Structure 1
């Protein structure tokens, strides 16, 4: 019997890539499953989802703007309209179940589905649940989570610890360290740092790295630097004198190569980044983005720091602390090995299939 499933959410790569991984897993289990994505108009899911081969409908919805309150004037109207549009999408598509992965479009679709008695499942990616998911959790059939201790946000009997889905090209990568280092035009005989700030880059990480380039090269350390678009030209100019040791990219598509080449990773603490780092088992220094909703990135990072599976530098301290934390970690072989072991125990390489099975289970 053919199943019809809506997957709702998006806004950032951190929501979209796991959503696509869940869709692919559903197709693997039941190839005739019909899947419709619902996203927010103007956000990156409207481009990324069709590229992955799935249909998507867009809602006219935005999040609460914390930095410019004036921009929230139309928000009540947008929420009302998106709830109305969500109802008509559900009526037209007639799904057997609805999955919410977080992000703006998640709320209207799940809210409408729950009112129409359609089974819903929430995939909560962070260690600190957002407001929307807390409201939706009361009526969801199942809530798939990536961290322990989530019963402070959700009914304990609905929780399933599945971890966050990671893209197949990372969980199933067969790339060797030698291939990876050569791919970036680097040397196998030097330590390598991989700095990444999510799909849009990280201003504070970029600005803290720039003055350290000369020291990195003096210590014979290599850097793979994903800057994001806004900082790319600045970083390229700064790195030009050190081209043998510092490779600058606006965006890296072959993340499995970058992880494999790295001895230490410098990263934001988004849910997707953490899930990937657990699978690839890399010593990591987190610089959480402090303006994420409910400061969930700090909460995500601390969950690992408390298990001796990562280090943390606060966003406003990265300028002054990065040099000492990074170089002392690179010199401490024992600590690096301990962090690799601890972060590896938190990996969930089959999260996509586990979540897909839970989705199908709420229909039966």
Structure 2
């Protein structure tokens, strides 16, 4: 059996697929260590996975602001030293990175020590970490249809994002019973990503009276430190009691999405993969300041495949009517679910696990993988 290091900390969108892949590798008899960040969201998310080995690696996100830029280089150097020490002591057979600031040190350390590296990019626009580090990798996993220019000599496989095993579609009534919600009323679930969204939280607060008056119950995950928790009760036009529940963090994402008639969410790749797994129709509000505007590209692809609709941040004034139009349109919701079911058929975890086992043992890759072109003579001379 082989030993793997998975670098996946910093956001839920990086950590969740890392956990999913770690559990699959462990199930195949391998040993896995997760490299995570020192952020609170990482600590909270790994609490329920005590059976997985984790290491908190020094590092902070990249920034051009002078003080943060200096701190970025300082912390990344600390991360590199930490990684070199760990890799020398434990000598894994392969390293897998899911992007983000926890990747740099361990990927560079792995290359220096001759340990094969694989990288996974889930967004429709590859992030800075993947673009920079891809030249050090032997494997690169990209979303279907996505290309990464100027990558040479790396094996590329187009596949989706691993999703944790507990995130599965449940019968709607069963999911609502677990959450203590009414099975007869429409349910809007609001998710701001692992960091939460102050704008979406604010939009919900402003529109609670209008939505509950129409009999729409709401379950909003605000994000850590971005809102108070609790349950409020309102009355619909017909006099029914309608619940609005706020929670700062949820480790029951699959239950929430299964219970929902409609999900209102940011457009991170991890959230979209979970929406697809749970076949949950969604209105996506891409975060406009995401690096390289990657959430807009993610959302557009989701809409084009028929999983839901996209509303721009600057169009929040129209969002209430959009929510009401979609959540009461049974024909449209059914059509979205049919499309989501089609989208959910690929087993990304098995595809990646099988290939990583080959990478760790030096086995030749499967024929379905594509070699990026090697440098030409002119490029080599340059």
Q: C-alpha separation between the residues in 2 aligned to 1:316 and 1:302?
A: 16
RMSD, aligned α-carbons: 2.4
TM-score normalised by length of structure 2: 0.85
Is contact 2:135-2:154 (8 Å) kept? no
Instruction: Determine the structure 2 residue equivalent to 1:254.
Output: 252
Instruction: Determine the structure 2 residue equivalent to 1:186.
Output: 181
Q: Which ranges of structure 1 fall in alignment gaps of 5 or more residues?
A: none
Instruction: Determine the structure 2 residue equivalent to 1:72.
Output: 69
Is contact 1:127-1:150 (8 Å) kept? no
Q: Which ranges of structure 2 fall in alignment gaps of 5 or more residues?
A: 236-240, 362-382
SS in 1 for 2:255: helix
SS in 2 for 1:232: coil
Q: C-alpha separation between the residues in 1 aligned to 2:358 and 2:17?
A: 19
- Count of residues in Structure 1 that have an aligned counterpart in Structure 2: 355
Q: C-alpha separation between the residues in 2 aligned to 1:81 and 1:250?
A: 32
Give the 3 Å change call, closer, same or farther, for CA 158–293 of structure 1 in structure 2. same
Deviations 1:142-188 (A, max 9, x none): 112234223447559722122111111123x5x32222223333322
Instruction: Determine the structure 1 residue equivalent to 2:339.
Output: 342
Is contact 1:166-1:349 (8 Å) kept? no
TM-score normalised by length of structure 1: 0.89
Q: C-alpha separation between the residues in 2 aligned to 1:123 and 1:86?
A: 19
Cα deviation, residue 69, structure 1? 4.2
Instruction: Determine the structure 2 residue equivalent to 1:16.
Output: 15
Matched, 1:39 2:72: no
Is contact 1:201-1:227 (8 Å) kept? yes
Deviating beyond 6 angstroms after TM superposition, the runs of 4 or more aligned structure 1 residues are: none
Give the 3 Å change call, closer, same or farther, for CA 304–50 of structure 1 in structure 2. closer
Cα deviation, residue 121, structure 1? 0.7
Cα deviation, residue 257, structure 1? 2.0
Give the 3 Å change call, closer, same or farther, for CA 117–226 of structure 1 in structure 2. same
Q: Which of 173, 177, 191 does residue 172 from structure 2 map onto?
A: 177
Deviations 1:75-126 (A, max 9, x none): 2232233223322221111111111112211111112212322111111121
Cα deviation, residue 50, structure 1? 6.6
Give the 3 Å change call, closer, same or farther, for CA 46–221 of structure 1 in structure 2. closer
For 1:317-328, what aligned pairs fall within 5 Å after superposition? 317-318=315-316, 320-328=317-325
Matched, 1:230 2:225: yes
Is contact 2:124-2:143 (8 Å) kept? yes
For 1:1-364, what aligned pairs fall within 5 Å after superposition? 2-29=1-28, 31=29, 33-42=30-39, 44-46=41-43, 48-49=45-46, 51-52=48-49, 53-65=51-63, 68-152=65-149, 154=151, 158-171=155-168, 175-233=170-228, 236=230, 239-241=232-234, 244-318=242-316, 320-347=317-344, 350-364=347-361
Give the 3 Å change call, closer, same or farther, for CA 193–94 of structure 1 in structure 2. same
Q: C-alpha separation between the residues in 2 aligned to 1:153 and 1:349?
A: 28
Q: C-alpha separation between the residues in 2 aligned to 1:324 and 1:276?
A: 25
Give the 3 Å change call, closer, same or farther, for CA 310–108 of structure 1 in structure 2. same
Cα deviation, residue 71, structure 1? 2.5
Q: C-alpha separation between the residues in 1 aligned to 2:288 and 2:357?
A: 36
SS in 2 for 1:60: coil
Q: C-alpha separation between the residues in 2 aligned to 1:117 and 1:157?
A: 15
Q: C-alpha separation between the residues in 1 aligned to 2:132 and 2:266?
A: 27
Q: C-alpha separation between the residues in 1 aligned to 2:259 and 2:11?
A: 25
SS in 1 for 2:19: helix
Q: C-alpha separation between the residues in 1 aligned to 2:120 and 2:46?
A: 18
Give the 3 Å change call, closer, same or farther, for CA 339–47 of structure 1 in structure 2. closer
Give the 3 Å change call, closer, same or farther, for CA 359–260 of structure 1 in structure 2. same
Cα deviation, residue 28, structure 1? 1.5
